[in-house]
Amino acid sequence: MHWIGLSLLMIFLGFVLFFVVLTIAGNLKIYRIRKKREGKGFTRERFVATFCSLGVPEDIPSAVFDYYTSSEGVPLSPDDAYGEVLSDDQGDIEDDVYALADKLNLIVPREKELNECGKLPLKTVRDTVLFLDWVRRRETVR
């Protein structure tokens, strides 16, 4: 009986250690990206200007930049790919899009319509900004 309790404790401690290592690895990744980009022009203004030059209203890239920098703490580039800098779990990306759309008072179309339009999946932060702009323009036409 004593060995069973000790074995269970060791398994539990193994799981805890595993999650601690995963957390540290994720934090080191973010730290390295932040240090690499420090002083290299990864600013909110530059991010927003990238999309304003394409005719995207300032509020959309601003909301995306603020959303991800507040949660991830990494200065963003429009071409940051999900999975390299941000979470690449498709469910998380969809949750992010719905949260951003809600913040911008936009209504994301149903999944069937999105699949017909070929608007998903989103691979980069640029895709997210352009997708939200597409939703805005689609609502304006209606």
3-state secondary structure 59-120: HHHHHHHHHHHHHHCCCCCCCCEECCCECCCHHHHHHHHHHHHHHCCCCCCCHHHHHHHCCC
* Alpha carbon distances (Å) from 85 to 2, 45, 57, 90: 46, 20, 25, 14
Question: Is there a cis peptide before residue 61, judged by omega within 30 degrees of 0?
Answer: no
- pLDDT, tens digit, for every residue of 3-29? 776 777 777 777 777 666 655 555 555
Q: What is the pLDDT of residues 39-95, one digit of tens each?
A: 555 678 888 998 998 999 999 999 998 988 876 566 777 887 777 766 666 667 788
| Neighbouring C-beta atoms of residue 111, cutoff 10 Å | 10
Give Cα 110 distance to the centre of its chain: 21
pLDDT reported for residue 56: 93
More confidently predicted of 138 and 1:
138
